[in-house]
């Protein structure tokens, strides 16, 4: 069995960027997701709290602490710099791909017209194909979701990263909706 974790926003954190907020009306949201060379955008989140992860665009917006962690482990990602409430953060899109999902043993539903995976009811992974060491990755079948290794989860825990919830993809807690 592979140790692959779903990476989700923690309950109680997961502040979402309010794009309708007057202070955010000048933000170029398309550039934030797609253009690392765009001028740094200033985003306001009035009640940010003590999280290191914010929902909004791409795979999330992460604090300088998380950016250092990603850099330390050379995680494959694209980062567009942004300032939230004056502090340096980054819009991150994870680009490392790992084709380790066992499609024969996982339970999922396909989108009728495209044949792409729409919902995963239960995951199974090929242990021999799962990445080794601390990393975050996407599956080629599910690019919008992010996954990590047990080593990355441990590194986040040790660094005190707040805002991500790591769920064992093959053994989620009772009542947890995988997708």
| 20-26 mean pLDDT | 78
Dihedral sign computed on CA atoms, order 164, 168, 170, 171: negative
Residue 12 has pLDDT above 60, yes or no: no
Residue 13 has pLDDT above 70, yes or no: no
Q: What is the pLDDT of residue 135?
A: 94
Residue 66 domain flag: yes
Q: What is the pLDDT of residue 53?
A: 87
Domain coverage including residue 104: 1-161
Scan for tokens 């660094």, then name that residue: 159
Tokens (6 digits) for 99: 């084709």
Q: What is the pLDDT of residue 43?
A: 83
The Cα–Cα gap between 103 and 91 comes to 31
Residue 54 domain flag: yes
Asked if 13 and 163 touch (Cβ cutoff 8 Å), the reply is yes
Residue 175 domain flag: no
Condensed to tens digits (0 to 9), the pLDDT of residues 39-85 reads 788 888 877 878 898 876 668 889 999 999 999 999 999 888 888 88
Asked if 147 and 166 touch (Cβ cutoff 8 Å), the reply is no
Number of folded domains in the chain? 1
Residue 174 domain flag: no
pLDDT band at 19 (very low <50, low <70, confident <90, very high): confident
More confident: 168 or 112: 168
Residue 168 domain flag: no
Condensed to tens digits (0 to 9), the pLDDT of residues 113-155 reads 777 888 898 999 999 999 999 999 999 988 788 999 999 999 9
Residue 42 domain flag: yes
More confident: 45 or 93: 93
Residue 38 domain flag: yes
Residue 93 domain flag: yes
Long-range contacts of range 103-112, CB-CB < 8 Å, 24 or more positions apart?
103/141
Q: Which residues pair with 101 in a beta bridge?
A: 125
b/e 75-113 (16+ beta carbons within 10 angstroms → b): bebbbbbbebeeeebbbbbbeeebebbeeeebebeeeee
């Amino acid at each position: 069995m592979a140790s692959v974790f779903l990476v989700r926003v923690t309950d109680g954190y997961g502040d979402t960027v309010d794009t309708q907020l007057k202070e955010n009306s000048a933000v170029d949201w398309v550039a934030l997701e797609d253009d690392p060379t765009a001028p740094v955008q200033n985003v306001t989140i009035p009640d940010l709290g003590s999280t290191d992860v914010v929902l909004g665009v791409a795979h999330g917006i992460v604090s300088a602490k998380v950016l250092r962690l990603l850099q330390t482990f050379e995680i494959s990602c694209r980062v567009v710099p942004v300032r939230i409430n004056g502090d340096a953060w980054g819009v991150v899109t994870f680009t490392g791909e790992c084709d380790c999902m066992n499609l024969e043993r996982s339970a999922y539903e396909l989108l009728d017209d495209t044949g792409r995976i729409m919902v995963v009811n239960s995951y199974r992974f090929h242990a021999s194909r799962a990445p080794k060491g601390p990393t975050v990755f996407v599956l080629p079948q599910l690019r919008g979701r992010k996954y990590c290794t047990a080593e990355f989860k441990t590194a986040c825990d040790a660094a005190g990263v707040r805002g991500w919830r790591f769920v064992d993809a093959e053994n989620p807690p009772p009542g947890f909706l995988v997708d």
